[in-house]
Amino acid sequence: MNILIILNDPPYGSERSYNGLRLAKALSNDQTQVSLFLMADAVTCAKRGQKVPQGFYNIELMVKSVLRKGDVLLCGTCMDARGLTDEEILEGARRSTLQELSERTLAADKVLVF
């Protein structure tokens, strides 16, 4: 099964991206291909070097977990609007386009939006 998960919210201040990443991790297995597409403020979920208070969840570690078995794509226009460069994002995650998002949407068995 091919599942596309689209995140829109920032990594912190809302739990939508956190919950979307929890689901992405839970769905990742040998029978399921998970693709994560980060849009709007969610592109900062893939920023390297996040520092959070002890005992608080770390979105960077959660994205890395998804990268082990799936794809993490970031909207390039959204990255540019937030001043996020390719060098600042996690290894394995990559800049993408709305065209690729539309292709992956059409190819997915399920699309989930957070």
Backbone angles phi, psi at 8, to 5 degrees: -120, -25
The residue among 93, 92, 97, 60 whose CA lies nearest residue 75 is 97
Using CA atoms, how far apart are residues 44 and 59, in angstroms rounded to an integer? 9
Give the predicted TM-score (pTM) of the model.
0.95
pLDDT tens-digit readout, 66-109: 999 999 999 999 999 999 999 999 999 999 999 999 999 999 99
Does 27 have pLDDT greater than 90? yes
- pLDDT attached to residue 72: 98
pLDDT tens-digit readout, 42-54: 999 999 999 999 9
For residue 67, give every residue at least 6 positions away whose Cβ sits within 8 Å of its Cβ, in sequence order, or none.
90, 92, 93
- pLDDT attached to residue 12: 96
- pLDDT attached to residue 29: 83
Provide the β-strand partners of residue 32: 29
Residue 9 zone, left/alpha/beta (φ > 0; ψ -120 to 50; rest): beta
Using CA atoms, how far apart are residues 21 and 12, in angstroms rounded to an integer? 12
Report all structural domains of the chain as residue ranges with CATH numbers, in order of start.
2-113 (3.40.1260.10)
Length of the chain: 114
